[in-house]
Amino acid sequence: MWKPTDVSNLPSPFVHEIRVTWGDCDPARIAYTGRLPVFALDAINAWWEAHLDGDGWFQLELDRNVGTPFVNLAMDFRSPVTPRHRLMCHVWPQRLGEKSITFRVDGYQDEVLCFEGTFICVFTVADVFKSQPAPPDIRAVVTPLIRP
Amino acid sequence: MWKPTDVSNLPSPFVHEIRVTWGDCDPARIAYTGRLPVFALDAINAWWEAHLDGDGWFQLELDRNVGTPFVNLAMDFRSPVTPRHRLMCHVWPQRLGEKSITFRVDGYQDEVLCFEGTFICVFTVADVFKSQPAPPDIRAVVTPLIRP
Amino acid sequence: MWKPTDVSNLPSPFVHEIRVTWGDCDPARIAYTGRLPVFALDAINAWWEAHLDGDGWFQLELDRNVGTPFVNLAMDFRSPVTPRHRLMCHVWPQRLGEKSITFRVDGYQDEVLCFEGTFICVFTVADVFKSQPAPPDIRAVVTPLIRP
Amino acid sequence: MWKPTDVSNLPSPFVHEIRVTWGDCDPARIAYTGRLPVFALDAINAWWEAHLDGDGWFQLELDRNVGTPFVNLAMDFRSPVTPRHRLMCHVWPQRLGEKSITFRVDGYQDEVLCFEGTFICVFTVADVFKSQPAPPDIRAVVTPLIRP
C-alpha cells in the first residue's frame, strides 16, 4: 500500500530572526538585493552558533582552526523584503559531503516566502587555507540534522 | 545639608542587543570601524521602534511623513568590539530642541564600554525634505525620557 | 566547409574596476563572502551607467520609472578576493527575454578568475512595482551587446 | 605691514572619488547615514595607498605590522549625498602627534560640501595590538603633508 513520505521524524529547521531596517532598504523601499545574501549568511552563522555551543565562524576559525569558505551560492527572490515584518530565516544542512556542506536558507516575512537559497561551503584548515574533510565532531553534530 | 543628585527618578536607558559576527570583523579580528556607526544607528532605530508602537525610521517616513535625518555624529572608540559577546547598546535621548533631537548611544560588551557617541537629528516633513518642529505626539513620547 | 565560430564580431565585455579594501575583508584576510554579490551588483549598475548615458539603477527608477529587480543570482567562488589587486569585473548581458535580462559577471584579480555569476532581473514599472516588457529604448541598447 | 596667511606653499589635498550608487541609498533616496562614515574611511585608506606606494590598511597591517585603529570620529552632514554626482573626498592629515594622527575628510558633490569630518587614529604594533609611536618612515611621509 502506498504511503506518503513520513516526515514526522525529520528535524525541524532552525529559525533565525532578522530585524530588517531602513538602512537595509534602497530607494524602491525594499531591502537592497545586496543585503539578501548577507541576511542568509547571518542566518547560517547563527545556525553554527546554535549547534556548536555558541561558536560561529569567528570561533570556528580562531579557536578551532576550521574555516568553511563558500564556493557557491544561488538564491531565488520570490517576494520583496521590507522592515514591516521580522525576517524569519529557516536554515538547515541539506547535504554533508566528505569535504563540503550545503545549507538551505529560506526567508519568510509574515509567512510569505521572500527568498530561498542554497549555499555550499568547503571545510579548510583555517591557518593554512587548505581543504580538509569535515572534522569528526562537526560531522557528528551535522549528520542528524540533514534534511535533503 | 548637601545631597547627591537624586537619579532614582531618571528613566533607565533602553538597551538594544546586537549580534556581532564574522562578517562585521576586519583582518585585525575586531569589528571594522565602519560598522560601529551602523550599529549605533541600528540601536537608535530600535529605540524609535520601542517607543513609537513599532514604528522605526521606515514607518516614520512612509506612514507618518516624518524624517529625522542626521546632521552630526561623534563617537569615541574605547575598546574593540568582537563576536565574543553580544553588543549591548544603551540608547537615550539627551536633548530635545525645537527642531532637533540628540541621542546618546553607549555600546558595551561583557560590561566593558566599547564606544560612546552622540547623534543629532533634525525633524523634517519627509516628502518635501523640509525642516519642521518636532511633531507634538513625538515630543510627548520623548520628553519624559530625556536624560541630559 | 566547416568554420569555427567567428567571435571576432562579438562585443568585448565591459570591465568595471573595484578597489577592494581592508573594510571588505574578514578575519580570514580575504573579502567577506557577503561582499562578493555586492561587488557584482556594483558592476552591473556600472554597466547600466556606461550604456545608458550615465543612468544607473537610481536614474532608471527615478527618471525613467523603470525598475530591474533581481529574481535570481548564482555565483561560483573560484579564488579569494583580496586588497592586493584591483578587482576587474567583466560584465555582459547574456540573454534578453521579453520581460527579463540575464547578466554575467566574472571577477578577476591579477588575471585570476575569482568568481563568476549570473544574475536575472525583470523589468518593472517602478512606481507600481508591476512587471513590464523591456522598454524599447533599453532593448535597442542591450540587444547588440548580448553574448550568450 | 599686515600680510594674509600665505597658503601658496601648503600642499593641496588628496582627492578620492567615490561612485555613489542605488545600493548606498535609503528610502529617502539619499545615501544612508551609515554609509557616510564608510565613504570617509575609504577615502582615508585611499590616502594611505597614495602616499605609501600603494599600501593601505591591509598592507600596513600584514606587511608592515602597523595598525592605525580609530579612537574618535566626528562628522557634520551638510547636504545629502546622492548617485547624481561622484562624491569627491578631500583628505589630509591635520595633526601628527607622537602616537596619533588626525585626518580631515571633506566630501563634495558637484562642488557642494556634503559632509566634513575629523578622524583620529593611533598607531599600534599590529600583531600585539599595542600602542606605539608613529613609525619614522610614516612620520617622514606624513609631516610635510600636514595642514592644520
Pick from A60, A71, A73, A125 the residue to mutate for testing the C interface (most C CBs within 10 Å).
Answer: A73
* pLDDT average, residue stretch C59-73: 98
Within a domain: residue C15? no
Within a domain: residue C104? yes
Query: Chain D residue with minimal CA distance to A26?
Result: D26
User: Which residues of chain B make contact with C32, given a CB cutoff of 8 A?
Assistant: 22-23
Within a domain: residue D84? yes
For residue D126, how many other CB atoms are within 10 A of its CB?
21
User: Which residues of chain A make contact with B46, given a CB cutoff of 8 A?
Assistant: 19
Within a domain: residue B1? no
Is A3 a residue whose pLDDT tops 70? no
C25 CA: distance to closest CA in chain B (Å): 5
| Domain, as residue range, for B64 | 25-145
Which of B5-14, B87-96, D119-128 bottoms out in mean pLDDT, i.e. has the lowest? B5-14
Within a domain: residue C119? yes
Which strand (E) or helix (H) includes residue D60?
helix D57-63
Residue A67, chain C, CB below 8 Å: the answer is yes
Instruction: Specify the pLDDT at position A1.
Output: 46
Within a domain: residue B130? yes
pTM greater than 0.90: yes
* pLDDT average, residue stretch A13-34: 97
Within a domain: residue C1? no
Instruction: Specify the pLDDT at position C57.
Output: 98
Residue A84, chain B, CB below 8 Å: the answer is yes
What is the tens place of the pLDDT at every residue in B95-115?
999 999 999 999 999 999 999
CB contact under 8 A, A27 and D23: no
* pLDDT average, residue stretch B11-18: 90
Residue C22, chain D, CB below 8 Å: the answer is yes
Under the banding of pLDDT at 50, 70 and 90, the label for residue C8 is: low
CB contact under 8 A, B34 and D41: yes
CB contact under 8 A, D27 and A32: no
Mutual angle of helices C35-51 and C57-64, in 10-degree steps: 50
Under the banding of pLDDT at 50, 70 and 90, the label for residue D7 is: low
Which strand (E) or helix (H) includes residue D35?
helix D35-51
Instruction: Specify the pLDDT at position C12.
Output: 75
A9 CA: distance to closest CA in chain B (Å): 31
**How many domains does one find in chain C?**
1
Query: Chain C residue with minimal CA distance to D22?
Result: C58
Instruction: Specify the pLDDT at position C7.
Output: 53
Under the banding of pLDDT at 50, 70 and 90, the label for residue D1 is: very low
The sheet with strand A130-131 has its strands ordered as A66-67, A124-125, A130-131
Neighboring chains of C (3 or more beta-carbon pairs < 8 A) = A, B, D
Contacts of D79 by beta carbon, 8 Å cutoff, 6+ apart: D109, D112, D113, D114
Q: Are C145 and C12 in contact (CB under 8 A)?
A: no
CB contact under 8 A, A21 and B38: no
B33 CA: distance to closest CA in chain C (Å): 8
* pLDDT average, residue stretch C99-115: 98
D108 CA: distance to closest CA in chain A (Å): 22
CB contact under 8 A, D37 and B73: yes
Is C2 a residue whose pLDDT tops 60? no
What is the tens place of the pLDDT at every residue in B40-97?
999 999 999 999 999 999 999 999 999 999 999 999 999 999 999 999 999 999 999 9
Residue B11, chain D, CB below 8 Å: the answer is no
Under the banding of pLDDT at 50, 70 and 90, the label for residue A145 is: very high
What is the tens place of the pLDDT at every residue in A109-142?
999 999 999 999 999 999 999 999 999 999 999 9
Under the banding of pLDDT at 50, 70 and 90, the label for residue A6 is: low
CB contact under 8 A, C22 and B29: no
Under the banding of pLDDT at 50, 70 and 90, the label for residue D13 is: confident
Neighboring chains of D (3 or more beta-carbon pairs < 8 A) = A, B, C
Neighboring chains of A (3 or more beta-carbon pairs < 8 A) = B, C, D
CB contact under 8 A, D21 and C58: yes
Q: Are D114 and D107 in contact (CB under 8 A)?
A: yes
Residue B128, chain D, CB below 8 Å: the answer is no
Within a domain: residue D131? yes
Instruction: Specify the pLDDT at position C109.
Output: 98
Candidates D22, D33, D34; nearest CB to A26: D22
Q: Give the CATH number for residue C100.
A: 3.10.129.10
What is the tens place of the pLDDT at every residue in D51-101?
999 999 999 999 999 999 999 999 999 999 999 999 999 999 999 999 999
Instruction: Specify the pLDDT at position B145.
Output: 96
Neighboring chains of B (3 or more beta-carbon pairs < 8 A) = A, C, D
Is B18 a residue whose pLDDT tops 70? yes
B57 CA: distance to closest CA in chain A (Å): 6
ipTM of the complex: 0.93
Instruction: Specify the pLDDT at position D41.
Output: 98
Residue D129, chain A, CB below 8 Å: the answer is no
CB contact under 8 A, C21 and D62: no
DSSP D123: -
Instruction: Specify the pLDDT at position B1.
Output: 45
What is the tens place of the pLDDT at every residue in D15-63?
999 999 999 999 999 999 999 999 999 999 999 999 999 999 999 999 9
Q: Are C119 and C40 in contact (CB under 8 A)?
A: yes
CB contact under 8 A, A22 and D26: yes
* pLDDT average, residue stretch B117-144: 97
